[in-house]
Structure 1
Amino acid sequence: MAARRVAAEQSAPLIDLHAASTRLCTALGPAGCALLSPHRSDGTVDATHLNAAGAARFGRLVADLAREAVPELRPWLAPA
């Protein structure tokens, strides 16, 4: 992955949100993911976007990943 290579070359932290969100969605399963997604007017799940619950869940995920990748941010991130 090019992003990993560049992060390593620049000694920059990397947050692999794709891998983390894939793990989360696998753990939640389709029904759990549907609870985090808005529903279209025809009742189908919009699996691309997030509803308020999804925004909170993924916001927490990003904050947790940032806390791990950049410990200096911990004072400015809400506790887990």
Structure 2
Amino acid sequence: MASRGRRGGAPTREDEPRREERAEQQTPAPQGPVLPPPPPVDYGVFMQGLVQAMQTQAHTQAALQAQLEAQMVLMNGVL
């Protein structure tokens, strides 16, 4: 019955320091100063900016596409 404790899965004293080392490795220590939480976000303003950026991108893409098509017409006309 004395050997039952080891066979039952109880950790031996040799295993305990290893488990502590693993726990320390998995939890990174915080580095640098702790920052305050960010200010609240106004999602209406955020969405307006997002829509404006998407519209600007669409206009830029359309202008680049038109420029590319014009260059292709010129290249085909020369060849």
User: TM-score by structure 2 length?
Assistant: 0.29
Pick 1 or 2: higher relative contact order, CA cutoff 8 A, min separation 6.
1
| TM-score normalised by length of structure 1 | 0.28
